[in-house]
Amino acid sequence: MAFFIASSPHAHSRRSTPTLMKLLALCALPGLIAQTLFFGWGTIIQLAFAIVAAVLLEGAVMLVRKRPPMMALRDYSAVVTAWLLAVAIPPYSPWWIIVIGLIFAIVIAKHLYGGIGQNLFNPAMVAYVVLLISFPVQMTSWNAPVALQSIDVSFSDAFNLIFTGFDNEGMSLYQIRSGIDGITMATPLDAVKTGLHTGLTLPEVLSQPQFNGFAGIGWMWVNLAYLLGGLLMIKLRVTNWHIPVGMLSGLVVASTLGMLIMPGEVASPAFHLLSGATMLGAFFIATDPVSASTTVKGRLIFGAMIGVLVYIIRSWGGFPDGVAFAVLLTNMCVPLIDHYTKPRTYGHEK
């Protein structure tokens, strides 16, 4: 009988990798639904297109590597990568953004390192960072929540915006984002950073319409939806609690210290927890079993480092949200973290 060695991720259960990937997608549904409700049909369209593109790319790469395509397609890892990238980009980004991102995620960040279980970095976050640096305009063109939009965008409008750049009436994305008043609306994280750097106080920034006095219309509920999905993941033992708790604790501690040292100049811990990609990052991105730390203590340290880096990048970095950069930077530290946190071998003398 041949001895079969499976690649990571290794889970302490009888569940296979495809089962875990499908459960992860199921737990991400509340967040996907919330994003669609608050930001329009673009997210659903991007997701469907991304899954098709990811499956085709995965199959093509396996053929180039002279391996059976179904061997890779059956584990659903390409679908999860496509899912994470699709929900991380603005809903009405042009179609080629997804294609370029998935090429970097699947071809370079995944298969160039040997395929699933061999990648050093989270493939979806590699793609996101490459896109953000290369195409900053397209990657920061978030539309206002549906409640604040002066122009209704139907499903067909969203489809045309993604694949042609114009809606059914011939309006561009910039015109739709500007609305009838001609003023584009920044995301809450971007508005806070810009407002504080221009001399506004935090209460003045939070008085803008997209905040509704707190973490932002839509963004707060999207984060709560991903929190619900993340807790379900832990309940179903799709992932463990160490990395999410470490990341959220690191973010809370760092933002609390910042608020105590610089009162009125930085956002509150609650704002950071419920803005941007915090909960998506904590439960669905940082917990990638391949690129994250593998020890219990290491996972807590790994998560805490991500949380602190997210706060630093959000407060003083050049980008509004720092989840992707924080995850990739901490991925680099995983070998060192695992080396110093690995449990002592049974029977080893001190």
Q: Is 177 in the same domain as 205?
A: no
Q: What is the Cα–Cα distance from 2 to 223, expressed in whole angstroms?
A: 46
Residue 221 in domain: no
Residue 93 and residue 163 in one domain: yes
Whether 135 and 208 map to the same domain: the answer is: no
Give me the average pLDDT of each 10-residue run along the chain (350 residues): 53 69 91 93 95 93 85 82 94 95 93 82 94 90 76 88 88 71 60 76 74 75 95 93 96 93 82 91 92 92 96 87 93 92 66
Q: Are residues 147 and 209 in the same domain?
A: no
Is residue 2, in this structure, part of any structural domain at all?
no
For residue 145, give the nearest of 203, 209, 232 by alpha carbon.
209
Is 229 among the domain residues?
no
Q: 150 and 276 share a domain?
A: no
Q: Is the dihedral of CA 297, 302, 309, 214 positive or negative?
A: negative
Domain-embedded: residue 304? yes
Domain count for the chain: 2
C-alpha–C-alpha distance, residues 143 and 162, integer Å: 13
Question: What residue numbers bound the domain in which 305 lies?
Answer: 187-216+234-340
Helix axes 95-102, 123-134, angle to 10 degrees: 130
- The DSSP code for 268 is -
Per DSSP, what are the bridge partners of residue 172?
Answer: 166
Q: Which two tokens stand for residue 133?
A: 């640096």
Q: What is the pLDDT of residues 199-248, one digit of tens each?
A: 777 777 777 777 765 677 788 899 999 999 999 999 999 999 999 999 99
Same domain, yes or no, for 144 and 267? Answer: no
Q: Are residues 176 and 275 in the same domain?
A: no
Flag whether 39 is in a domain: yes
Contact between residue 225 and residue 34 where contact means Cβ atoms under 8 Å apart? yes
106 and 244 in a common domain: no
Q: Is residue 45 part of a domain?
A: yes
CA distance 47 to 296: 33
Q: What pTM was estimated for this model as a whole?
A: 0.88
Are residue 79 and residue 198 in the same domain, yes or no?
Answer: no
The three-state secondary structure class of 15 is coil
- 193 and 167, same domain (yes or no): no
pLDDT of residue 133: 93
Please check whether residues 298 and 198 belong to one and the same domain.
yes
The CA distance from 289 to 15, in Å, is 14
| 49, 146: one domain | yes
